[in-house]
Amino acid sequence: MTSIKQTASLAFNYRPHLPDFCNLGVMLRLIVLVNLLCVAAAVLKTTSVSELTLAFLTMSVIVQPALILSLLALCILRRLSVQMSYAREMTLFLGVQSTIAALCYALMRALPLGVVQVPVWQYVFFYAFVTAAVLFYFDMRSRALAPSLTEARLQALQARIRPHFLFNSLNAALSLIRSEPQRAERVLENMADLFRSLMSDNRELVRLDEEVNLCLNYLEIEQIRLGDRLKVNWKIDSMPVNALVPPLILQPLVENAVYHGIEPCETPGEINIEIFERGGSLVIVLENPAVAGDGISTTHGNRMAIANITERLQLHYDAEARLKSEIAGLVYRVTITLPVRERIS
């Protein structure tokens, strides 16, 4: 059996990084932010509404080409920059920005449009100010969302070590030691795998099949405790096993399905888990019984899991991922949609 090693401290150390400029959400935020800065600069430069409109259009002629070229260049270089340290990544970013700034200024000076002729010092200052503002904004946004990664590990770790789960799992293993020793050993191995995963560093994306295996280990333990009351239907034949997902994105939902959907049922209940790829997106659908009167959609523990996963999806994928939870009749359904990503070697 593999020994359990705690590979990361519980205190989260923020690691700065540049945003993914290929991400749709990042692109939209960048365009809005830059244009707002153009509006602010135009307001400071003019004294009337008519002058404001002309000043903004003038700045747009100067700024928009550089903005579009920057997004294209940084998106193309994403595969290279993601393998770099932050210092080298910043060097590449500033080098690209300086090259594009010089190119756009030379092109602007060559155009027969006197209205866009500005002193080089004003152009350099505005371009540098906008670049610094963009970096500051995305850095602050990453810092604001980063604690949710540690919170996810702490919540999951706390949930897994709560006394009744540990007590029930150990009792399940003890009850099998004499009659089914191999199965008892398997239960203990599953517990070890769960604890190792929950105590490891969860800042990086993991393979989808690893997350699925973690859920299988968890469900195998719960199967010993609940017996025929728990039925799980997996539809994962077409899932992209090499796709990368945030760690602990599925296991907390499966756990909630067991505690809020199966345990309160007087009759056997079924959990349906379907994972597939559709149009370049990874779709995860989890369904479990919505017990009448249980209030599963507003249960405190369930809301914590949903909110935490939603926040981590925003951190990793911005506007390109979404989570939807709903009650359809007597079924509680959670649907997660996120981009398909694979590890860059």
Question: Picking from 19-23, 166-170, 173-177, which range would have the lowest pLDDT averaged per residue?
Answer: 166-170
Average pLDDT over residues 249-278: 89
Average pLDDT score over the chain = 78
Q: Which residue has the higher pLDDT, 43 or 343?
A: 43
Largest CA distance in the chain: 91
The CATH number of the domain covering residues in 147-339? 3.30.565.10
Could you report how far apart the first and last alpha carbons of the chain are, in Å? Answer: 29
Average pLDDT over residues 118-136: 82
Average pLDDT over residues 26-40: 88
Q: What is the dihedral of CA 198, 203, 209, 211, to 10 degrees?
A: 30
Query: Is residue 105 helix, strand or coil?
Result: helix
**Matching residue, tokens 């604690």:** 147
Contact assessment for residue 332 and residue 261, using Cβ atoms and an 8 Å cutoff? yes
Please report, as a single letter, which amino acid is at residue 145.
L
Domain residue extents for the chain: 24-145, 147-339
**Matching residue, tokens 């200052």:** 125
Alpha-carbon distances of 327 from 32, 180, 274, 276, 337, rounded to whole Å: 36, 40, 17, 21, 18
Kindly list the strands in the beta sheet with 269-278, ordered across the sheet, starting from the edge strand earlier in the chain.
230-235, 269-278, 281-289, 331-339, 322-328
Contact assessment for residue 4 and residue 195, using Cβ atoms and an 8 Å cutoff? yes
Please report, as a single letter, which amino acid is at residue 163.
P
Non-local CB neighbours of 291 within 8 Å, separated by 6+ positions: 260, 261, 264, 265
Tokens of 36: 């707002």
Non-local CB neighbours of 34 within 8 Å, separated by 6+ positions: 63, 67, 130, 134
Rounded CA-CA distance 290/254 in Å is 14
Q: What are all long-range contacts of 35-40, with beta carbons under 8 Å and residues at least 24 apart?
A: 35/60, 35/63, 37/129, 37/130, 37/133, 38/63
Taking only the tens place, the pLDDT of each residue in 76-117 is 888 777 778 888 888 888 888 888 888 888 877 776 655 456
Taking only the tens place, the pLDDT of each residue in 55-66 is 888 788 778 888
